[in-house]
Amino acid sequence: MPKRRTKRGAQRTPIGGDYDVLICGASFAGLAVARELAGSGARVMVIDRYEVGERQTSACAAPTDWLLNLGLQGSMRQTFQDLVINTPYGRHRYDLPWTFSTFDYRTLCELLDEQNDADFETAKVNGRSANTIHTDRGDLTAPLIVDGLGWRRLLAADDGYQPPDAPLSRGLEVHPNGSGEDLEIWIDRRYVPAGYGWSFPARNELRIGVGSFDPRFHVKDTTVLLAEDLDADAVRYQGNWIPHKLRPSTEDGIFFVGDSAGHCLPLTAEGIRTALYFGIACGRELRRVVEGRSTADVALRRYGTFSAAHEWQFEWLLRVQKLVPKLPAPLQHGVIGALGDKRFVDWSFGHYLRIADPSFAGAPIANQGGGMPPTPSEGGAGGPAELEPSAFPRSGSNGASGGGTSALPVAHKPDQG
């Protein structure tokens, strides 16, 4: 696991000052916001309790085209064409219309961080008063503030909510040494009554875990059980709470991105590409403001509307999340098998991908000249002037992304279901 690099002791000197944009949180969402502000001339500060890439809290996998379109292929560890779904009654293999890749968290964050020109400091956020953020190292002020600090939603005006009385799932995983060829999940009440287990190979490491849709169900023992069943060591633990309900993305003048806005898809708990997607959308709105082409109020309204336009898709996924655990295990197995028809897989996973389509990220950074993303006026993909959810089907689309080809070998096997 990563070694701690956060400033400590005498290194934690006082900080302060006024900025044009203050981004609290330096993981997927916060770094995506900062990326979109590169070259704008704005004075941007990014703060986080930890160094960039220091604290991994997920299995770190995403649709390959998202990584390619953001120029993050250097972080990729393994790529998969198939998804294997295990139940107590057998297994099914889905041939996906797009590939999924595991990646190294620190490398990805560092590559994404290289694409901005913001200042960065490690500091613990303690609270907010209007446009001033109070940290353990001093106060920072900005007219545009982004909360990318996670599900606690620290910069909200209210006290937020706490587990287990909150729409949160809980997940835990271990990271033993090892290798594998399949991206696998388990829908098996032996591991979790409502939720699933997983094994995501990442070259020389396995990421094995269990996620429960019920926050009251503790998953440590069953995570160990799944690791044992896979003949793997239960070592190097990491876990987190996972939001499964969309929340307002703007409130009291603050922009919320990633988990703080509930930008994590119910049922699958996929939150990385949605954090990048909504972070990019937020960053593009902020860029319009700092370049004098919009106002903060307009940006808040437009970004809030953009996020809320996805609510119906989040709600449908949440309905399925609530339905699946109610089905008897034999019926679950039969339904999963029936849904594995190639035509249905292409259709359903194509629509699922378009909830946060990789094309929204635009061309890879390496192809944009000078290492910076283009402004909307320069023809950047999905610019704010045309900001709209990429989730809605487009004319002529067959559901597969046109984002590029994986640079890694793709694991693919014939159906053995």
Cα 198 to Cα 25: distance, rounded to the nearest angstrom: 27
- Distance between CA atoms of 283 and 35, rounded to whole angstroms? 7
Enclosing domain of residue 44: 14-411
Q: What's the pLDDT score for residue 1?
A: 39
Q: In this structure, what DSSP letter does residue 108 have? A: H
**Model confidence pLDDT, tens digit, residues 340-371:** 999 999 999 999 999 999 999 974 333 333 33
Is residue 1 assigned to a domain?
A: no
Unique residue bearing structure tokens 């082409």 = 293
Give the pair of three-digit tokens for residue 307: 């996020």
Q: Please name the residues in contact with 391: beta carbons below 8 A apart, sequence gap of 6 or more.
A: 309, 310, 313, 354, 355, 356, 357
Distance CA 376, CA 244 (A): 32
* Per-residue tokens: 316: 């449908």
Evaluate if residue 231 carries a pLDDT over 80. yes
Does this model's pTM top 0.85?
yes
Is the residue at 23 inside a domain? yes
Torsion of CA 256, 62, 277, 43, to 10 degrees: 70
Looking at residue 286, its pLDDT comes to: 98
Is 9 contained in some domain?
Answer: no
Q: Which amino acid is at 87?
A: T
Task: Write down the pLDDT at residue 383.
Answer: 40
What are the pLDDT digits (tens) for 285-340? 999 999 999 999 999 999 999 999 999 999 999 999 999 999 999 999 999 999 99
Q: What is the CATH number of the domain that holds 342?
A: 3.50.50.60
Strands (E), 41-188: 44-48, 61-63, 76-87, 90-103, 119-122, 125-129, 132-135, 138-141, 144-147, 168-174, 184-186
37-68 in b/e form (b: 16+ CB < 10 A) is bbbbebbbbbbbbbbbbbbbbbbbbbbbbbbb
Please state the length of the chain: 417
- The number of domains in the chain is 1
Average per-residue pLDDT for the chain: 87
337, part of any domain: yes
- In angstroms, how far is the first alpha carbon of the chain from the final one? 35
pLDDT given at position 73:
96
Asked whether residue 389 carries a pLDDT value surpassing 70, the answer given is: no
As a whole number of angstroms, the distance between CA 33 and CA 365 comes to: 15
Q: What is the pLDDT of residues 152-202, one digit of tens each?
A: 999 998 877 788 888 999 999 999 999 999 999 999 999 999 999 999 999
Instruction: Note whether residue 2 is domain-resident.
Output: no
| Residue tagged 């606690």 (tokens) | 152
* Residue 380 within a domain: yes
Model confidence pLDDT, tens digit, residues 2-20: 444 455 566 678 999 999 9
Q: What is the mean pLDDT of residues 390-399?
A: 34
Model pLDDT, residue 364: 35
Q: How far is CA 21 from CA 264, 346, 351, in A?
A: 24, 41, 34
In a domain, 416, yes or no: no
Q: Which pLDDT score is estimated for 350? A: 97
- Give the pLDDT score at 6: 54
pLDDT > 70 in the chain, percent: 84
Q: List all residues 6 or more positions away from 277 whose beta carbon is below 8 Å from its beta carbon.
A: 32, 263, 356, 357, 360, 361, 390
**pLDDT interval class at 58 (50, 70, 90):** confident
Q: Does 55 reside within a domain?
A: yes
